[in-house]
């Protein structure tokens, strides 16, 4: 049960949490006895943590844009942990995996394999600028750790500037640069030299420039770079997956500030690389090239954990006396086959353009809803990385936290799954293979759910 003295709202930054009263109420109403038994087994064997166990429900199947629970309820998945750019179980990805498993299913260290080389070369050919060097890892957090080590090795400095509210993974090094209390608080001393600055979120920005953002937040990054004088890198998500969409000039300014102060720029595009925003890499929208780009999630075709660090040629200097990654699955041929197949599908099926078209269509529908429901404070997005912010008061920016959670459960009841970030932002990240009919169905569900919650207010 929820401890009533616990302030749970500040824990809602990364996603909706599993200890809220509404969650308990929903479970009692919608989870049958058989499913409760499986949830209980999960509860008894897994370590409990916010955002997972105790879990919400039990899945039986996933296919295309849908997850399907053990009672056969189909939910359009606008969450998918952002691995599902191609939806689930894309036949071309599955075929590539099966084919690869039949020959080389693993690659022992000290050896390489053609499919890993092919994926690395493909990524280099797609990446902007001279991001010519690749190192794979079995997950985004690990790849972020490699980026931090390379920044230290290359600059001889250790300080990092990163953003409040950001997420770069849950390990100790990643939470040191991350900016969310749910991961950081009570975890003891974190990495030294990690400083945080406000993210480019004009609605809740401490500089209070509001709608007419004057980029004070980017000036402040330069201010800290100058005061410290020896910062190794600025690390940030190109677009926070909440999402906050930085203004057009934001990254150009940060890029220049990094160059002026000898700091590297490391961009984390783990959740939206390879097409979610309508470009293979999100930094392409901003016309800049970072010194390192970290990708993951969809890179494994929605099946395998696979992430990658792309670095500029001149950063290829950790050899021969330093190891950056050394992960067991560094060149896993099956994961790489899945990644190569996923990229091929994105290219041959024109999914980048489709992501832009579907994103525009969905945002139009949501903007239309915003004219009818005062609860909707803001709609934003880039391609199919979309957010709807629910506010109690547009002028003060007061977050509609209970209402956002209620909308999420109302959507689940109607067959749409997504997560809520920062307590009040409906974060909508469908597969980029989504059809127009599926998108319209999702928007109908969203609209009906917002109407239901608005009426009850």
Ligand X SMILES: Cc1ncc(COP(=O)(O)O)c(C=O)c1O
> Where on the chain is the footprint of ligand X (CB under 6 A)?
139-141, 144, 167-169, 237, 241, 268, 270-271, 296, 307
C-alpha–C-alpha distance, residues 178 and 246, integer Å: 18
Question: Residue 139 or residue 377: which is nearer to ligand X going by CB?
Answer: 139
Nearer to ligand X, 52 or 367 (CB): 52
Residue 205 and residue 217 in contact, taking contact as beta carbons nearer than 8 Å: yes
The whole-angstrom separation of Cα 44 and Cα 52 is 13
| Burial readout 340-354 (b: 16 or more C-beta within 10 A, e: otherwise) | bbbbebbeeeebbeb
| Residue 74: strand pairing partners | 68
| DSSP line for 271-339 | TTTTTTTSSSSGGGGGT---SEEEE-GGGGTTTS--EEEEE-GGG---TTT--S---TTTT-HHHHHHH
Backbone angles phi, psi at 50, to 5 degrees: -65, 145
The least distance separating ligand X from the CB of residue 383, rounded to whole angstroms, comes to 16
Contact 93, 86 (CB under 8 A): yes
CA dihedral of 169, 173, 176, 181, whole degrees rounded to 10? 40
CB of 266 or CB of 400, closer to ligand X: 266
- The least CB distance from residue 318 to ligand X, in Å, is 21
**Structural contact between residues 235 and 208, judged by C-beta atoms closer than 8 angstroms:** no
Question: Smallest distance, Å, CB 192 to ligand X?
Answer: 21
User: Least separation, in Å, of the C-beta of 307 and ligand X?
Assistant: 6
Strands (DSSP E) along 330-384, which ranges? 376-382
Alpha carbon separation from 133 to 129, 136, 202, 317 (Å, rounded) = 11, 10, 35, 11
Which residue, judged by CB position, is nearest to ligand X in the bound state?
Answer: 140
| DSSP β-ladder status, 133-137 and 264-268 | unpaired
C-beta closer to ligand X: residue 161 or 445: 161
CA–CA separation, 295 and 318 (whole Å):
20
When the beta carbons of 15 and 278 are compared against ligand X, the nearer one is 15
Instruction: Tell the smallest beta-carbon distance from residue 239 to ligand X (Å).
Output: 9
Least Å distance, CB 268 to ligand X, is 5
**Taking the complex as a whole, how short is the minimal distance between the CB of residue 139 and ligand X, in angstroms?**
4
Nearer to ligand X, 169 or 308 (CB): 169
- Shorter beta-carbon distance to ligand X: residue 221 or 270: 270
Q: Which is nearer to ligand X, 119 or 453 (CB)?
A: 119
Residue 194, helix vs strand vs coil: strand
The nearer residue to ligand X, 165 or 438, going by C-beta atoms, is 165
């Amino acid at each position: 049960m929820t401890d009533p003295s616990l302030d749970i709202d500040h824990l809602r930054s990364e996603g909706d949490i599993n200890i809220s009263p509404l969650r308990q109420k929903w479970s009692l109403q919608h989870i049958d006895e058989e499913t409760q038994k499986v949830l209980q087994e999960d509860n008894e064997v897994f370590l409990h943590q916010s955002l997972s166990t105790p879990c919400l429900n039990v899945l039986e199947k996933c296919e295309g844009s849908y997850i399907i629970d053990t009672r056969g309820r189909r939910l359009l998945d606008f969450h998918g942990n952002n691995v599902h750019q191609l939806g689930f179980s894309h036949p071309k990805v599955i075929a590539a995996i099966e084919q690869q498993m039949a020959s080389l299913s693993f690659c022992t260290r000290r050896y390489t394999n053609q499919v890993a080389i092919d994926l690395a070369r493909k990524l280099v050919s797609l990446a902007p600028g001279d991001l010519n060097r690749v190192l794979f890892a079995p997950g985004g957090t690990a790849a972020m750790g490699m980026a931090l080590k390379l920044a230290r090795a290359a600059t001889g400095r250790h300080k990092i500037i990163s953003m409040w509210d950001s997420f770069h993974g849950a390990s100790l090094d990643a939470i040191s640069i991350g900016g969310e209390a749910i991961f950081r608080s009570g975890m003891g001393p974190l990495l030294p030299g990690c400083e945080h600055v406000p993210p480019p979120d004009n609605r809740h920005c401490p500089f209070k420039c509001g709608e007419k953002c004057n980029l004070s937040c980017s000036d402040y990054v330069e201010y800290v770079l100058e005061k410290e004088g020896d910062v190794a890198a600025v690390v940030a998500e190109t677009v926070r997956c909440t999402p906050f969409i930085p203004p057009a000039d934001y990254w150009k300014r940060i890029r220049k500030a990094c160059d002026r102060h000898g700091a590297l720029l490391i961009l984390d595009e783990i959740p939206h690389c390879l097409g979610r925003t309508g470009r293979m890499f999100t930094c392409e929208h901003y016309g800049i090239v970072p010194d390192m780009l970290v990708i993951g999630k969809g890179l494994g075709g929605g099946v395998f954990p696979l992430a990658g660090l792309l670095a500029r040629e001149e950063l290829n200097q950790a050899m021969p006396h330093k190891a950056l990654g050394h992960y067991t699955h560094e060149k896993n041929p099956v994961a790489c086959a899945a990644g190569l197949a996923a990229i091929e599908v994105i290219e041959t099926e024109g999914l980048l353009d489709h992501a832009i078209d579907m994103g525009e269509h969905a945002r139009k529908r949501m903007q239309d809803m915003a004219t009818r429901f005062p609860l909707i404070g803001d709609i934003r997005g880039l391609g199919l990385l979309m957010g709807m912010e629910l506010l109690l008061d547009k002028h003060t920016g007061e977050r509609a936290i209970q209402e956002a959670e209620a909308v999420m459960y109302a959507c689940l009841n109607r067959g749409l799954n997504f997560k809520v970030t920062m307590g009040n932002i409906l974060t909508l990240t469908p597969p980029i293979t989504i059809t127009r009919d599926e998108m319209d169905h999702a928007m109908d569900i969203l609209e009906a759910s917002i109407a239901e919650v608005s009426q009850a207010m």
